[in-house]
Amino acid sequence: MTVFRGLKAVLFSCAALGALAMPAHAEDTQYDWGKFPGYTLKVKLIGGTQYEKLYTRIAEWEKATGAKVEIVSSKNHFELDREIKQDIASGSITWCVGSNHTSFAPQYGDLYIDLKEVIPETTLAEFVPGTLASSMVDGRLVQLPRVTDVSNLYYQKELYENADNKAKYKAKFGTDLAPPKTFDEFKQQIIFFANPPNLYGTAFAGKDEGMTGRFMEIVRANGGDMFDANWNPTFNSQAGLDALQWFIDIYNAKAVPAGTVNYTWDDIGQAMAAGTLAVDLDWPGWAAFFNDPKSSKIAGKIGLAVAPVGTAGKRGGWSGSHSFSVTKDCDNKPAAVSFVTFLTDYQSEMMEARAGNLPTRTKAFADVVDEFKKDNNTYMADMFATWEQSLADARTPPLVPQWIEVSNVIWPELQAAIVGQKTPKDALDTAAEKAKQIMEDAGVLK
C-alpha cells in the first residue's frame, strides 16, 4: 500500500510538474508552466492594495497555459479565514488555490495538499530555507511562501540628529542618543521623546493577534516562550511579566497614544506617516509608504534599525509569511500547483520586493538590493539589508491549530493590565488558565 502510494505520488509529481522541474529562475521568461486549455482555475486570494499588484501577472500565466483564473473571493485575510472555515464546515471546497498565512495554516487540517510531493526539490531549494521550514505544518509543506514579515525599527532621523535632544539625553542617561539596541533602551527613548499630543514615543497594536504577537516577541526576547514542550502555557513566567510591564510602563508614561490599545497596523502606520510617532517597530511593507512624500510627512527623514533585544540578549523575531496553498479537493491539481509556483517565481518575487515586501526566494533578496543601489535608492537598499539581518532570528507563532484561539484569550487580558484594570500577574494567570483549558479541550496538552 505504501509502495502504491509512493508510486502514485511520483507519477503524479511527474505528470503534474514535469515542466516545473526546470530551473524556476525568473530571468528565463520561456519557462513552461504546462498547458491547461479551456480550464478555469478557481482561486480565493487575499485582497488589498499591497497584495493585488502581483495579480496583474495572472494574465501572463493564463496566456502561457491556456487556462483562465476565476478569483471567486478577494477579501482581507481575517474575512477570508472566516470564509474558508465556513467552506470547510459546509464541505464545499469547489476552489483550488487559496491565500494562506503561517499563523492561519495550522487551523485548516488536511484542507491543503503537501506541496513537497508535487514541487521539485530544485524549485524548493530556491526559497529561503527558514521561510520554507515555517511553511510546514506537521511536516507537510501546506503553503508556498509569497512574502515574509518581520519587524524592525523605523525612526525619525531628525529627532536623533537634533543637538538639543542629544545633549539632554546624554545629560539624563549618560549615554549617546542612538537607535535603541535593547527593549529597555527603547522604552527609555520613547518616554524621552514623548511630547503628547503632538509627538508620541511610539504606538503598538493593542488588539487581536497584533497585541498577542508583539507580547510574544518580547517574551521570547526576554528568554521565555508561550508554551513549554508539553504545550503548557508558560507566558505567565517572569519573562512574560517583564514583557507585559514594558507595555504598562510606556502606557502609564503616556509615551504612547492612550488609544493604542484599540490600534491595529493601519492606525500605527498612519500615525507614523503623520509624523506623530518618534519610533515605530513595524513591518517591512510600510517602508515605501513612509518614504513616499504623497503619503508621508516623514518621507526622506526615516532611519532604519534592527529590532531591539530583550533581557535575554536576543531578538523575539516574531515572523510569518503570506503564502498560497492548493486544496486537496482541487479538480486540476497540476494547474493549481503551476499557478502557485508561478505566483511565487523569481519574477513575482522581484515584483513584490520592488514594492518593499520581503521576498521568499534567496536570489531575489540580493538582486533587488543591487537594483536599488543602481537606482541610488539607498533607503530601500538599506531597508533590505536591515530586514535581512532580522530574518536570521525570525520565529513564527506556535504552529498549532489552537494559536488564534489562544491569542484571543490573551490579548483582552493584556489590555486589562495595560489600562490598569488588573495586575499583570492576575491578567497573565487568567490568560494562562484559559489557554490551558483550550489546549486541554483540544487534547494537545501532554
Partner 1 sequence: MRFFTSRLSAPFVLLLPAFLIIAAVILIPLIFSLYTSFTAYRLVQPASLWQWVGLRNYIRIFSDVDFWWAFGRTLVFLTVALNLELVLGLCIALLIDKITTGQRVIRTIMMFPMMFSPILVGFQFKYIFNDNVGLINNAIQSLGWTDVTIPWLVNAWTANLAILVAEVWMSTPVFAILLLAGLMAMPRDPVEAAKVDGCNPWQVFRHITLPFLMPFVYIAMAIRSLDVARAYDMVKIMTNGGPAGRTELLWTLIARVGYQDARMGVANAMSYASILLSIYFTYYFFRKLASARASLGSMA
* Chain contacts with partner 1 (rule: CB under 8 A): 78, 81-82, 85-86, 88-89, 91, 107-109, 196-197, 200, 203, 206-208, 257-259, 261-262, 267, 270-271, 274, 276, 401, 404-405, 408, 411-413, 415-416, 418-419, 421-422
State the nearest-atom distance from the C-beta of 216 to partner 1, in Å.
17
Least separation in angstroms between CB 277 and partner 1 = 9
Query: Shortest approach of partner 1 to residue 110 CB, angstroms?
Result: 10
Rounded to an integer, what distance in angstroms lies between the CA atom of residue 81 and that of residue 85? 6
Q: What is the nearest approach in angstroms of partner 1 to the Cβ of residue 437?
A: 10
Rounded to the nearest 10 degrees, the angle between the axes of helix 362-374 and helix 378-391 is 160
Q: Give exposure, 358-379, as e/b (b: 16+ Cβ within 10 Å).
A: bbbbebbbebbbeebeeeebeb
Taking the complex as a whole, how short is the minimal distance between the CB of residue 411 and partner 1, in angstroms? 8
CB of 264 or CB of 389, closer to partner 1:
264
Smaller CB separation from partner 1, 205 or 355:
205
Pairing between strand 68-75 and 279-282? unpaired
Q: Which residue has the cell 489546549?
A: 439
Q: Residue 149: beta bridge partners? A: 320
DSSP 310-337: -TTSS---BEEEEEEEEBTT-S-HHHHH
Nearer to partner 1 (CB atom), residue 103 or residue 321: 103
Pairing state of beta strands 40-46 and 68-75? parallel
- For residue 166, the minimal CB distance to partner 1 (Å) is 27
Q: Pick the closer one to partner 1 by CB: 78 or 173.
A: 78
C-alpha cell at 66: 491556456
Nearer residue to partner 1 within complex by CB, 166 or 207 = 207
Q: What angle do CA 79, 318, 213 make, to 5 degrees?
A: 55
Q: CB of residue 276 vs partner 1: minimum separation in angstroms? A: 6
CA distances from 419 to 22, 80, 108, 208, 256 (A): 56, 31, 35, 16, 12
